[in-house]
């Protein structure tokens, strides 16, 4: 069995390289698509659905880098701010020609002054939570692992893995008060169960604790930490296994249903 405290089980791999392998390996988001709709999973796997990169996604990625990998990596990967208007001494607005010309030559994703301030505020929010700081003060960001899980090639990319050992996932949210409802809606527990199951296959069987750090995208930028319960992780792992078995069968017979082929009963009484 691999000693997880040596922190040498995860691969350091650029995000672009990891995502390029999503047609070959099933990740947590892909499995989530399959649980929702096998046809959706298949179309995304084949590249038939355009992936829209919304501004919120950019801010989310940049926040992960800023919080988990530090300011130096953040500034290398993202262009922040913009050119200064010599008449006002302030940055040009993001809708001006001067800003567009500056952004076009940066060669990396560009963050507006407003986005930069938001990211810095969230980083401060995380830093103010002692439990969050303890979880991410030592370890590895964005580590990758791959294994065959229930006969399906799978891959994971962990936001953070510390030598305690713990899996840590960082989420941004609109309102921390409703985060637990959001977590149920977006299937975060299934994601964490998938992570630790694949990691256990790589390391020889040890199931590690899973934590979620969530920080608000608005004042007062509250940050909270949740440990996902073992019973919840076990239940989600069983459902993940069932989904992987269905996926394997869909692939075998090349049939990808929507899940709505039959008439359903709608009854509010």
State the pLDDT at residue 205.
Answer: 76
Distance (Å, rounded) from C-alpha 160 to C-alpha 43?
Answer: 30
Distance (Å, rounded) from C-alpha 269 to C-alpha 267?
Answer: 6
Question: Is the pLDDT score of 88 beyond 60?
Answer: yes
Distance (Å, rounded) from C-alpha 65 to C-alpha 93?
Answer: 24
Tell me the mean pLDDT in the region 146-161: 98
Stretch among 1-5, 76-80, 107-111, 210-214 having the lowest mean pLDDT: 1-5
DSSP secondary structure code for residue 249 in this structure:
H
Tell me the mean pLDDT in the region 101-120: 93
Q: For helices 55-64 and 113-127, give the axis angle rounded to 10 degrees.
A: 40
Question: Is the pLDDT score of 122 beyond 80?
Answer: yes
- What are the structure tokens assigned to 114, written together? 């407003």
Give 174-185 pLDDT, tens digit per residue: 999 999 999 999
Judge whether 99 and 82 are in contact, CB under 8 Å: yes
- Tabulate helix, strand, coil % of the chain (nearest 5): 50, 20, 35
Nearest Cα neighbor of 246 from 156, 148, 151 is 151
Distance (Å, rounded) from C-alpha 183 to C-alpha 227?
Answer: 12
Judge whether 188 and 171 are in contact, CB under 8 Å: yes
Judge whether 212 and 190 are in contact, CB under 8 Å: no
**Global pTM?**
0.92
DSSP secondary structure code for residue 5 in this structure:
G
Distance (Å, rounded) from C-alpha 196 to C-alpha 161?
Answer: 11
3-class secondary structure, 53: coil
Count how many Cα atoms sit within 13 Å of the Cα of residue 1 in the half-sphere of its side chain: 9
State the CB neighbour count (10 A cutoff) for residue 238. 11
Tell me the mean pLDDT in the region 54-75: 94
Query: Domains in the chain, ordered, with CATH?
Result: 1-50+129-258 (3.90.320.10), 53-127 (no CATH)
Confidence of residue 80 (pLDDT cuts 50, 70, 90): confident
Strands 140-149, 152-162: parallel, antiparallel or unpaired by DSSP? antiparallel
Tell me the mean pLDDT in the region 200-228: 96
Please state, rounded to an integer, the average pLDDT across all residues of the chain: 94
State the pLDDT at residue 155.
Answer: 98
């Amino acid at each position: 069995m691999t000693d997880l405290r040596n922190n040498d089980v995860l691969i350091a791999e650029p995000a672009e390289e990891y995502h390029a392998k999503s047609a070959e390996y099933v990740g947590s988001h892909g499995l989530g698509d399959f649980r929702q709709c096998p046809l959706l999973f298949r179309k995304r796997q084949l590249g038939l659905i355009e992936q829209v990169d919304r501004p919120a996604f950019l801010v989310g990625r940049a926040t992960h880098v800023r919080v988990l990998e530090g300011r130096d990596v953040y500034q290398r990967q993202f262009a922040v701010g913009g050119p200064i208007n010599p008449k006002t001494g302030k940055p040009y607005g993001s809708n001006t020609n001067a800003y567009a010309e500056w952004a076009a030559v940066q060669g990396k994703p560009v963050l507006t002054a407003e986005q930069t301030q938001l990211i810095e505020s969230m980083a401060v929010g995380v830093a103010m939570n002692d439990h969050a700081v303890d979880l991410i003060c030592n370890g590895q960001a964005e580590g990758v692992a791959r294994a065959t899980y229930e006969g399906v090639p799978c891959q994971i990319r962990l936001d953070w893995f510390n030598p305690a050992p713990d899996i840590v996932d960082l989420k941004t949210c609109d309102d921390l008060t409703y985060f637990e409802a959001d977590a149920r809606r977006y299937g975060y527990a299934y994601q964490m169960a998938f992570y630790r199951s694949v990691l256990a296959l790589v390391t020889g069987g040890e199931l590690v604790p899973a934590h979620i750090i969530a920080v608000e995208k608005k004042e007062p930028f509250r940050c909270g930490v949740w440990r996902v319960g073992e019973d919840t992780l076990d239940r989600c792992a069983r459902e993940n296994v069932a989904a992987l078995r269905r996926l394997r069968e869909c692939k075998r017979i090349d049939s990808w249903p929507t899940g709505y082929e039959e008439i359903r009963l709608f009854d509010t009484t």
